[in-house]
């Protein structure tokens, strides 16, 4: 059974290639979904996959943002309404 989550957070400054690093980790754990920089400091991520992969992915997000987060990281489950076709994409 797949689990889906949305992650929203704001960073003080988004490092270059930040979403590429997130995308590589999502692929490593066979997750599908999207990552998007909404404005200069806000990111939105939607990820679906097996519960263990999601848990490891969330831990990874916490590790790489620990010194950069300006506020809380919002994580919420959601019911998937679109088909990501097995790929984690970056939306620009």
- The 10s digit of each residue's pLDDT in 63-77 is 999 888 888 899 999
Which of 27-36, 60-69, 73-82 has the largest mean confidence?
27-36
Three-state DSSP class for residue 25: helix
β-sheet bridge partners, residue 37: 43
Q: Is the dihedral of CA 10, 16, 22, 25 positive or negative?
A: negative
Query: Is the domain 3-82 a CATH 2.70.70.10 member?
Result: no
β-sheet bridge partners, residue 17: none
């Amino acid at each position: 059974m797949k689990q889906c989550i949305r992650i929203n957070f704001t960073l003080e400054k988004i490092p270059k290639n930040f979403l590429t690093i997130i995308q590589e980790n999502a692929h490593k754990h066979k997750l599908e979904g999207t990552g998007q920089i909404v404005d200069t400091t806000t990111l939105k991520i939607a990820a679906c996959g097996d519960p263990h992969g999601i848990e490891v992915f969330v831990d990874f997000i916490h590790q790489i943002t620990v010194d950069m987060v300006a506020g809380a990281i919002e994580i919420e489950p959601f019911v998937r309404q679109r088909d990501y076709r097995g790929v984690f994409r970056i939306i620009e």
